[in-house]
Amino acid sequence: MRLRSMCGLFAAVVLVHPGVFAGSLNPPAGPIASTGRFGPRIEINEVNTPGDADSQFRITQRGSYYLARAITGESGKSAIEIASRGVTIDLGGNEILGVAGAESGISIGFGGVRNLDIRNGSFLKWPIAAIEFSSAEAIRLADITIEGGGGILVGPESIVERCILRECTGTSLACQEHTQVIDCTIEGALASGSAVGADCTFRGVAIVDSASQGLFAGLRFRMYGCTVSGSGGLGIEVSAGALIENCTAIANAGIGIDCSARSVVVGCLASNNAGSGIVVDADSLVSGCQASSNDQDGILVGDRCYIVGNLCTNNGFAIARAGIQVLGEASRIDANNMIGNGIGLSVIGDHNFVVRNSARGSFGADYSISGANNDYAQIVINPGPGFVNSNPWANFDF
């Protein structure tokens, strides 16, 4: 009965005269130029978005906008200035070309602007920045290419994805707190590759051949599946509370991965760096990593750390640095394999716990434990074929 009643009601609604629900067939007056998947869009041009003293085009109303042609900059101005919340711009694959004396490709008109979405375009040689949103919040940038000039500056709670930045001046990508950067590439930065605030996340980011440091990140940084290589200084430098997972630091002119206290480094590769491969401060974990062919230590350890299941090969050979170097105290060094280093395992700090490691082929000693009151299991030397050992905690020198 209920189904039959509902069918009757549906039929009654359908049979109502269409004029009861139909809107006007005449569009409202205004600068609507196109219709996209999210509704009416407004073309950025001299009529719809006229500029002012410091901008070529100025957006003052929220809405969806698009760019139908390339823009060449003018001295003393930004190409596009946004002075409203809730603005989306489809750049339509067009190029926004900077000139000497110009300001930024896209900027904001006042602080506190938020919920901006810019995508699908390219910027070339803007003197200050291609996109200058450092005073805005909740920005989304996608599918943007930047070559030369300034890079990207975004405020808190932003998302930057699938962007390419090449040979930018200054810091190529600067992000404030709670920002996510996903599947982006930073190549040949003329200064540092990226600097980010607290609680930011990088996924699938490549930073290659920066003139100075590759990446500096604030507190509680998260980094997954990223690569930093060829930097003129440190590769990856992070503040306390970081998580670095499945990342690579190769051929940087300083330390590969440098972490402050309470950090976790898991499943990473640090190789051919001019400094140490991985450095961790107090209360940190390094697990399942490979540190190879670094000029100084493979892994350098502070206080109260847990260093477990790592492979360290050919580190510090020329200057007798170690595969694993423990400077701090109260750390556990467990089940690591150290091959062909200057020293295999060096423990200088006090009150450390060393078990189940293996080492061979060091330029100096395979094990050097010189600090006071360190606890370490027996070191079994050259156990030979078919050996039997009753001590499950033993270290091996083979």
What amino acid is encoded at 231 in this protein?
S
Q: Is the dihedral of CA 7, 10, 12, 17 positive or negative?
A: negative
pLDDT digits (tens, 9 = 90+) for 159-214: 999 999 999 999 999 999 999 999 999 999 999 999 999 999 999 999 999 999 99
The answer to whether residue 54 scores a pLDDT higher than 80 is: yes
The answer to whether residue 93 scores a pLDDT higher than 60 is: yes
Question: Among all chains, which residue has been given the structure tokens 């957006």?
Answer: 59
The helix (H) or strand (E) run that includes residue 13 is helix 2-15
pLDDT digits (tens, 9 = 90+) for 223-257: 999 999 999 999 999 999 999 999 999 999 999 99
Q: Give the pair of three-digit tokens for residue 50.
A: 């006229």
Q: Where are the domains of the chain?
A: 31-169, 294-398
The answer to whether residue 6 scores a pLDDT higher than 50 is: no
Q: Give the pair of three-digit tokens for residue 53.
A: 């003293």
The helix (H) or strand (E) run that includes residue 132 is strand 129-133
Cα separation, 163 vs 185, in Å, equals 6
Cα separation, 322 vs 311, in Å, equals 12
Of 244, 239, 245, 233, which Cα lies nearest the Cα of 217? 239
Cβ-Cβ contacts under 8 Å for 385 (sequence gap 6 or more): none
Cα separation, 349 vs 369, in Å, equals 9
pLDDT digits (tens, 9 = 90+) for 66-83: 999 999 999 999 999 999
As a whole number, the mean pLDDT across the chain is 92
pLDDT digits (tens, 9 = 90+) for 292-313: 999 999 999 999 999 999 999 9
What amino acid is encoded at 178 in this protein?
H
